[in-house]
A and B are shown apart, each in its own frame.
Chain A
């Protein structure tokens, strides 16, 4: 029991890293998605093709494989590009991998939400004299996020759980801390149950927050 208590702070440290990775990946994934949606809607044919290929490929590959590719391949690529080693710590690499994956799914969520907006909205904005950029920023984007909220919440939960995969390449997040503790104490069941419990806890809290946000932020539905 005392041994389990000794490792508990480690698990909580890992939980913090998990949240960092998930938040970072979600944020950057969202940025990628917004850019991709912009490209898919307003870009020329090659841009549209790039976005479509990116989304199709990522959604067809196992997340673990993409993480392996970004982890083991990314540093090689970066170093070759810059000539010298570019310092990329495990956290950054983990965030890069996961945001690359989530960006594809977020693109589809945002695109679906975008197409739910009645076309009259854009037409009304144009008739009021708003340019494309202003229309996108003040009329389309807020509505897009409102419709996308359930999908975004769903993707956040997925990213939280996917972050456990980054433990396989050594990032010291919650799952990894659990594996180390289990190995050192030969009590895998105890620690993996605690780790599972912690994940369920953060997904539950997330779902509660999203339910609250959904009620407060969505309109007109």
Chain B
């Protein structure tokens, strides 16, 4: 364990921090934005809406994120039609591909969690809205969804940590975030421990800060139950179709 290499590792890993945060936060926001319409579609009455979305979430949750990332990055670039289209300037950039792949993947998992949350609401809530004459939009926005989000808030906080960990995959498509920067440094110095330990500590620190931020948000929102000790570190997401948090 060379302290010289340890000290050299710090600026190297720190240089990747900015990209890690960009990919994490942008991917998380994209995932949350997409998860809501997908979650609503999963609980829709019309099978025309339910089936395609259910298939989509099934495929995204049934295959590794790495394959999905490669399909987006290398697979699409293969076609001249794609390279001539309007989306090329976007997916041409490796960072965008990482954000989109991680966002889509996260959205699939959170959509299932939202759908599960909606299904678990007491049916009396929806019935009361109908009897009060609320429009479907108002029913969703003012009554049902706030309750669902309050109930699944811990899962969403968990999702942020999972997206942070997923951001390390961006290094597979040339994005020099922390894990990629660490690996490149190892190839030069043949000293794996020092730099990966520095990177690991930084990931733990960021995860810890995200956890504190989320606990702060939870406390500010009325009606969110107190979270026990085991809820802090990242939980794995439910993978099987039909299983929700």
Contacts of B172 in A (CB 8 A): 168
In the assembled complex, how far is the CB of residue B10 from the closest CB belonging to chain A, in whole angstroms? 16
In the assembled complex, how far is the CB of residue B56 from the closest CB belonging to chain A, in whole angstroms? 12
Q: In the complex, are the beta carbons of B70 and A65 less than 8 A apart?
A: no
Q: In the complex, are the beta carbons of B240 and A165 less than 8 A apart?
A: no
Q: In the complex, are the beta carbons of A188 and B239 less than 8 A apart?
A: no
* B41-49, B128-136, B143-151, B191-199 - interface stretch: B191-199
Q: Which residue of A lies closest to B169 (CB)?
A: A64
Chain B 62-90: CB-based contact to A (< 8 A → 1; otherwise 0):
11111110110011111100000000000
* A25-33, A92-100, A127-135, A150-158 - interface stretch: A150-158
| Beta-carbon contacts under 8 Å, B159-203 to A | 161, 164-169, 171-172, 179, 182-183, 186, 192-193, 196-197, 199-200, 203
Q: In the complex, are the beta carbons of B67 and A108 less than 8 A apart?
A: no
Q: In the complex, are the beta carbons of B233 and A175 less than 8 A apart?
A: no
* A39-47, A81-89, A196-204 - interface stretch: A196-204
In the assembled complex, how far is the CB of residue B90 from the closest CB belonging to chain A, in whole angstroms? 18
Contacts of A203 in B (CB 8 A): 62-63, 239
Q: Within 8 Å of chain B (Cβ to Cβ): is A2?
A: no
Q: Within 8 Å of chain A (Cβ to Cβ): is B241?
A: yes
- Given A60-B204, A158-B239; A186-B165 close (CB under 8 Å): no
In the assembled complex, how far is the CB of residue A56 from the closest CB belonging to chain B, in whole angstroms? 5
Q: Given B64, B239, B241, which contacts A164 in the complex, CB threshold below 8 Å?
A: B64
Q: Within 8 Å of chain A (Cβ to Cβ): is B2?
A: no
Per DSSP, are chain B's interface residues mostly helix, strand or loop, or mixed? helix
- Given A62-B165, A62-B179; A188-B70 close (CB under 8 Å): yes
Q: Within 8 Å of chain B (Cβ to Cβ): is A20?
A: no
Q: Which residue of A lies closest to B239 (CB)?
A: A157
Contacts of B74 in A (CB 8 A): 182, 188-189, 192
Contacts of A73 in B (CB 8 A): 192-193, 196
Contacts of B243 in A (CB 8 A): 150, 154
Contacts of A186 in B (CB 8 A): 78
Residue total for A at the interface (Cβ-Cβ under 8 A): 51
Per DSSP, are chain A's interface residues mostly helix, strand or loop, or mixed? helix
In the assembled complex, how far is the CB of residue B175 from the closest CB belonging to chain A, in whole angstroms? 13
Contacts of A153 in B (CB 8 A): 240
- Given A60-B234, A68-B179, A69-B192; A196-B239 close (CB under 8 Å): no
Contacts of B164 in A (CB 8 A): 62
Q: Within 8 Å of chain A (Cβ to Cβ): is B222?
A: no
Q: Within 8 Å of chain B (Cβ to Cβ): is A49?
A: no
Q: Which of A182, A186, A192 has the most CB of B within 10 A?
A: A192
Q: Within 8 Å of chain A (Cβ to Cβ): is B37?
A: no
| Beta-carbon contacts under 8 Å, B211-239 to A | 230, 233-236, 238-239
Q: In the complex, are the beta carbons of B204 and A189 less than 8 A apart?
A: no
- Given A60-B234, A61-B203; A72-B67 close (CB under 8 Å): no
Q: Which residue of A lies closest to B167 (CB)?
A: A62
Q: In the complex, are the beta carbons of A161 and B78 less than 8 A apart?
A: no
Q: In the complex, are the beta carbons of A179 and B240 less than 8 A apart?
A: no
A181 to B67, CA, bound (A): 14
Q: In the complex, are the beta carbons of A199 and B234 less than 8 A apart?
A: no
Q: Given A59, A155, A162, A188, which contacts B64 in the complex, CB threshold below 8 Å?
A: A162
- Given A59-B234, A182-B74, A188-B74; A65-B63 close (CB under 8 Å): no
Q: Within 8 Å of chain A (Cβ to Cβ): is B207?
A: yes
Contacts of B230 in A (CB 8 A): 108, 112
| Beta-carbon contacts under 8 Å, A113-143 to B | none
